[in-house]
Structure 1
Amino acid sequence: MTTEAATPALLKDLLGPPALETIADAGAAASPHFDRPAFVCAASDGLEELSIMERVRHIADALHIALSGDYAAALDILRAMAPRLTHAFQAIAVTEYVARYGLDDFDGSMDALADLTRFGSAEFAIRPFLAADTPRALAIMTRWTAHENEHVRRLASEGARPRLPWASRVPALKADPTLAAPILEALKADPSLYVRKSVANHLNDIAKDRPDWLLSRLAGWQQDDPQTAWIVRHALRTLIKKGDPGALALIGVGHGAAATVRHFGISPTTVRLGDRVALAAELVSDAAETQRLVVDYRVHYARAGGKSAPKVFKLKTFDLAAGDTVRLSISQTIRDFSTRRHHPGRHEVELIVNGQTMATAAFDLSSN
C-alpha cells in the first residue's frame, strides 16, 4: 500500500471558512445585535485569494458590517467574543477592527487592545495608534509594563518594536528606534520568558540601526539578575554574529580566542538538495586559564552569477578549561525555504570563534 504525502497546510488557512464560522458564532453568542449572516457573507467574499494578513484586515471590515454603528458598544461585543475564539489569529482579526475603526476613541481603543491581547496579540493593531500619536501611545504602553498579565506587558514591548515583522512601520520609531527605552528598562528583569523574548527581540531591532546606543545602554544593566542577563545575551545576537568586540565583552567573551583548531571538516563534500551535511571541529585551548568561547559558523550560499550570500549560524557557547580539547559537531539539511533558495555551486563555510574566522571548509551543491 502506498500513501501520498500530505499537502502542507497554508498559513492563510488559519483564517479559512471554519475560522469564519467560529468568529460568527462568537459574535452571535456575545450579542443579539451581531449580524451573523452579514458577517459570514462579507467575510467569505473573495477570501480565497487573500494572504493571511490580508484576511485579518478583510475579516475586520466584515466585523464592521456586522457590528452596531456605536463604537463603544462594538468594543463591548468584541470583548465578549474574544474568550469564545479558538485560535490566536482569530483574535488578531478581532483586534484589527480596533486598529481600523478606533482611532477617534484613542484611550478607549487602547484599553480594548490591552484586554483583547490576552487572546491573540494586538501587536499589529496597536501600530496605527503609535503612528497617530507616538508619545501618547508610548505613555499608555509604559504604564502597561506594571500590568499583572504577561500578555499586556509583552504588548508594551512587542507593539513598539521598530522592525516588528509583518507590521506597518511607525515613522517616529523608524527615525528614532530608541523611543521605547523606558518600556524596555521597566521590563529588563521581567519574570515571564514570553515578555523577556519580546524585550530581547526589541533590543535586537535597535542593534541593527543604533548599535552604539544599544551597547552603551546594556553596559549599564546589572547582569547579576539572571533574567536581565538572559535578555542581554539574546539582544546582542546580531552583533555577536558579526563579531562585534563590544557585544562580546558584554557577555564576558574576549575578541579572539587562545585556541587552535586541529580539525574542521564537512561531510559529504558534494550534496544534492535535500541531503544533510555534517560539520565537525576540534579545538584545543592554548590559554593558561579557563576562557569562554562563542563558536559560530558562516555559510556563504552560492548565488547566480558567481556571487554568494553569507549567513551566520550559532554553534555553541561554552567555557573551555586551560589545555582542554573540545569536539563540536552539527548537521543541517540543505533545503529551500521561502526566505532562502539554494543554487548549485561551491559553498564556503567559516568556523568563527569569538568573532574571528579560525578555519574554513567547503561543500558543493550539485544541480542533479
Structure 2
Amino acid sequence: MSAETPALLKDILGPRALETIADAGSAASPRFDRGVFLRAASDGLDALSIMERVRHIADALHPALPGDYGGRLDILRAMAPRLTHGFQAIAITEYVARHGLVDFDASMEALADLTRFGSAEFAIRPFLAADTPRALTAMTRWTGSDDEHLRRLASEGARPRLPWAARVPALKADPTLAAAILEALKADTSLYVRKSVANHLNDIAKDQPDWLLARLAAWPQGDPRTAWIVRHALRTLIKKGDPGAFALIGVGHGAAVLVRDFAITPATVRLGDRISISADIVSDSPDNQPLVIDYRIHYARAGGKTAPKVFKLKSFELAPGAAATIRIGQTIRDFSTRRHHPGRHEVELIVNGRTMATAAFDLLPN
C-alpha cells in the first residue's frame, strides 16, 4: 500500500491482528490451539468487511478454545489486556455474543469486564433480545460503576438504533424500557458517557419524538452537563425544525431577522469542486436573539427527484440591530452513503427551524 492510499477500516482486523489475538490466546492458556485459530481465521478473511471479520474471528476462536464455556470465558478475559486494538477486543466479545446465552449471568459479567478493552455494545444485543428485562436490570446497575466504559455500555448497548448492531425491537417500540439508564446518566461526569446518552436519545427522536420531548422537558438544565446532552439529543428534531425542540434549548421557532446576499459560489461545479455558502444576517428585533442556523441541500437524483439533507452551520446570539456574516465551505464529493448526480441542487438557509432564503448550484457531469 502506498503512502497516498488510505487504510481500509477492515484492515484493522488483518493478518497482523490475527497474530496478536493468537499470541494473546497462547499466553492466556497453554491449551489454546494457535494453529487451529490462525487457519480458521485466515480462511476467506480478505473478502470480508470489518464487522464480518469480527464475526469470522469469533467463529475461529471456537475450535481453538479449550474446556467448557466457563473456562473459555476465563481465557477470553485473560486475553483482552494483551490485545492492541479495540476491534480485536470486539471480536473477543463477539464470541460471548455467539455462545454466551447458555450462561446468561456469567456472560453479562464477562462483557462488563471486556468492554474496558473494546466496547461490548454489539455483543450485548443478543442478551437484550433474549431477555430484555434481565439484561436491562444488569445494565441499569452498571450506571453506578466508577468505570466510564461500563457506564457507557449501559447506554450505548441499549440504543434503539445502534449502528452496525442487531436490532432489538422492544427497545425501539418502548423507550421507557431503558429510561432508568438515561435518568441515571443524564449528568454524567464523563463526556464519553454523555455522548452516548445524547446519541441514545437522538435515536428515540427518530421513532418516538413526543416521548423524547416530554422526557427532556422534565430534566432540569441547570447542570451544564445535562444541558449539553439535551442539546445534542435534539439535533435531529432541530434539523427538522420542530418547535418543541427549539423551545427546550431556549430558542424561538423562527427569528426576527433579514437575510441578505445569500449566495452559493461558484454557481456551476464538477464533482470534487468546493462551494462556498454565505449570507448576511441582520437583526430586526429590539432584543437579543439566539440563532441556530442550518442549511439544507436538495441533492439531485435520477429521474428529476431530489434527496434533502440538513447540515449544521452556526449557532450564536445576535444583538438588537446587529448584523453577522456567515460563511461555510463544502466539497462536493461522493461518499459510500451519498452519490452525486448531475443537475440543479437547491439550497435553503434555515434560521431557527424556518427557511429564510434559497439559492442553488448546478453540478455538471464529469
Per-residue deviation, 1:6: 2.7
Alpha-carbon distance in structure 2 between the residues aligned to 1:174 and 1:325: 44
Identity of aligned residues (%): 80
The alignment yields a C-alpha RMSD, in angstroms, of 1.1
Kept after mapping to 1: 8 A contact 2:22/2:34: yes
Measured against aligned partners, the alpha-carbon deviations of 1:314-355 in whole angstroms (never above 9, x if no partner) come to: 001111111100000000100000000000000000000000
Aligned to 1:169: 167
1:279 to 260, 277, 294: 277
Measured against aligned partners, the alpha-carbon deviations of 1:279-302 in whole angstroms (never above 9, x if no partner) come to: 011011011110100000000000
Per-residue deviation, 1:178: 3.3
Aligned to 2:118: 120
Aligned to 1:363: 361
Q: What SS does structure 2 have at the residue aligned with 1:160? A: coil
Which residue type is aligned with residue 179 of structure 2? Answer: A
Kept after mapping to 2: 8 A contact 1:178/1:206: no
Aligned to 1:93: 91
Alpha-carbon distance in structure 2 between the residues aligned to 1:9 and 1:232: 35
Aligned to 2:44: 46
Per-residue deviation, 1:147: 0.5
Alpha-carbon distance in structure 1 between the residues aligned to 2:289 and 2:14: 53
Kept after mapping to 1: 8 A contact 2:128/2:136: yes
2:33 to 21, 32, 35: 35
Q: What SS does structure 1 have at the residue aligned with 2:177? A: coil
Aligned to 1:56: 54
2:343 to 327, 342, 345: 345
Aligned to 2:267: 269
Which residue type is aligned with residue 79 of structure 1? Answer: R
Alpha-carbon distance in structure 2 between the residues aligned to 1:256 and 1:49: 51
Gaps of 5+ in 1: none
Aligned to 1:258: 256
Alpha-carbon distance in structure 2 between the residues aligned to 1:33 and 1:69: 9
Aligned to 1:308: 306
1:111 to 109, 123, 129: 109
Which residue type is aligned with residue 125 of structure 2? Answer: R
Q: What SS does structure 2 have at the residue aligned with 1:342? A: coil
Alpha-carbon distance in structure 1 between the residues aligned to 2:70 and 2:180: 31
TM-score, with length taken from structure 1:
0.98
Which residue type is aligned with residue 144 of structure 2? Answer: A
Deviating beyond 3 angstroms after TM superposition, the runs of 4 or more aligned structure 1 residues are none
Per-residue deviation, 1:52: 1.1
Which residue type is aligned with residue 223 of structure 2? Answer: D
Q: How does 1:190-201 map to 2 (within 5 A)?
A: 190-201=188-199
Per-residue deviation, 1:35: 1.0
Aligned to 1:220: 218
Per-residue deviation, 1:359: 0.3
How many residues get paired?
A: 366
TM-score, with length taken from structure 2:
0.98
Which residue type is aligned with residue 74 of structure 1? Answer: R
Kept after mapping to 2: 8 A contact 1:92/1:121: yes
Kept after mapping to 1: 8 A contact 2:172/2:207: no
